[in-house]
Amino acid sequence: MGRSQEIYIRAPRFGNINRILGKAVLYGVVTAMTLPIIIMYLWLFMQSVSEKVLIGFIPSGFTADGWRFLWGPVKFGEVLLPPIWPITLNSLIIALGVTGIEVSIALMAGYALSRLRVPFRDSFLILIIILHAFPGITLLIAIFYLLNVMGLINTLLSVIIAKAALEIPMATWLIKGFFDAVPWDVEASALVDGCSRLQAWYKVILPLVKPGVAAVAIFAFLAGWNEFIYALTFIFDPNLYPLSIHIIGLIGEFRYVDYTLLAATALFYSIPPLVFFVITQKAFMKVPLVGMKGA
């Protein structure tokens, strides 16, 4: 009796130890992999709030000086830098503009490619991948020419359109996969239950491809937010510059660099994508495809 009880108690304890060990290994590996990134961000943060950092990232001499750009114009050497908020707004407009256009077009095109009988569909899909292998930079001059003809040069819209246009094919390809995963029967069922094709699309299919929408939206937002070369080429008015160009300005203008200011700005630059990611993730992820036989 005593013996069996002992075994009974001990067995789960071994189980626990194993589980904890397993978790420890898992977390260890993940930590080791992310450590360099974490250290870099830590350094960035410490740098942005101290006058000087010691041995890598130990701060000394706290200062809010680096973040002074948030509440007033910054004089940088001889130049008065443009205020940060309009610049941030420019970046946001570009990022959200790209996201909006890219997601809505990719959603429709992806659905069509997945569900409708499109001629040359397979060749088309392969072509998308092949074209994606060419760097967008090779099209810079041609795009400039086109935008110029359209009278869009030196507007935010020029960057939005060019970026979205280049990203849409891949986004379409990605989201088509999500549509493919929605069983035909579910759509057919919606039609039989009284939906029009459009109703079936937004009442039944769209909720099921939310994770795809999230993925495309995140990629699109990041692409727009990080866009540099098109902005630099198509925009001449410093008031229309996005943050990415603004930051280059902090490095390039003078012989010396204000690291504290640069670090703070860089950190500031990385916050919106994080916020966007968290929001999108919460709202869209985790939609199960069950309720089907064999799924």
Partner 1 sequence: MVRVKLDGLSKYFGEVKAVDNLNLSIKDGEFVAFLGPSGCGKTTTLLMIAGIYRPTKGRIYFDDMDITNIAPKDRNVGMVFQSYALYPHMKVYDNIAFPLKLKKLPKNEIDRKVKQVAKLMQIDHLLDRYPRQLSGGQQQRVALARALVKDAYVLLMDEPLSNLDAKLRILMRAELKKLQKELEVTTIYVTHDQVEAMSMADRIAVMNEGRLQQYSTPDELYDKPANIFVAGFIGSPPMNLIDATFREDSGGYLVDAGSFKLRLEPGMGEVVKNNLTGQEIIFGARPENMEIVEAAEDNTIEGTVYVLEPLGRDLIVNVKVNDYMIKALTKPGVNLNPGDKVWLKVDLDKIHIFDKKTGKAVI
Minimum gap (Å) between residue 278 Cβ and partner 1: 22
- CB nearer to partner 1: give 112 or 206: 206
Minimum gap (Å) between residue 12 Cβ and partner 1: 28
- CB nearer to partner 1: give 15 or 207: 207
For residue 56, the tally of other CB atoms under 10 A from its CB is 9
Q: Give the residues lining the site for partner 1 (CB under 8 A).
A: 183, 185-186, 188-196, 199, 204, 207-208, 287-294
Percent of the chain that is helix, strand, coil (3-state, to 5): 75, 5, 20
- CB nearer to partner 1: give 93 or 195: 195
Distances (CA, A) of 99 to 88, 164, 168, 247, 279: 16, 8, 10, 22, 14
Minimum gap (Å) between residue 90 Cβ and partner 1: 37
Specify whether the CB–CB gap between 184 and 201 falls below 8 A. no
- CB nearer to partner 1: give 255 or 293: 293
Minimum gap (Å) between residue 211 Cβ and partner 1: 12
Minimum gap (Å) between residue 284 Cβ and partner 1: 12
Strand partners, 52: 60
In 3D space, the residue among 179, 205, 162, 208 whose CA is nearest the CA of residue 109 turns out to be 179
Query: What is the Cα–Cα distance from 180 to 209, expressed in whole angstroms?
Result: 10
- CB nearer to partner 1: give 72 or 291: 291
Query: What is the Cα–Cα distance from 288 to 271, expressed in whole angstroms?
Result: 30
